[in-house]
């Protein structure tokens, strides 16, 4: 399963905004917040805010935990 599919499945379970979905997909791809900001033409601070929001919505504390939660709940 690729990161786009994980992101789409996550959005079916928990409401995500369009930008949150973009940030989530890039986080799952392993991109840094700086690289995500450049790719989406937003500040690193904004990327970090979206990441924090995602962590809260999925009740996790790190990228690894987020990835693991999405993979384990993807079936």
pLDDT at 75: 66
Q: First-to-last CA distance in the chain?
A: 10
Domains in the chain and their CATH numbers? 3-72 (1.10.10.10)
pLDDT digits (tens, 9 = 90+) for 36-68: 999 999 999 999 999 999 999 999 999 999 999
pLDDT digits (tens, 9 = 90+) for 21-43: 999 999 999 999 999 999 999 99
- Please say whether the beta carbons of 72 and 7 come within 8 A: no
Tell me the whole-structure pTM to 2 decimals.
Answer: 0.91
The token pair that represents 51 in the structure block: 């990441």
**pLDDT grade, residue 73 (50/70/90)?**
confident
The yes-or-no verdict on residue 1 having pLDDT over 80 is: no
């Amino acid at each position: 399963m690729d990161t786009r599919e994980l992101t789409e499945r996550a959005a079916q379970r928990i409401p995500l905004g369009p930008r949150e979905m973009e940030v989530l997909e890039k986080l799952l791809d392993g991109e840094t917040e700086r690289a995500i900001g450049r790719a989406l033409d937003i500040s690193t601070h904004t990327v970090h805010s979206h990441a924090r929001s995602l962590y809260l919505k999925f009740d996790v504390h790190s990228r690894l935990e987020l990835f693991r939660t999405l993979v384990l709940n993807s079936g």
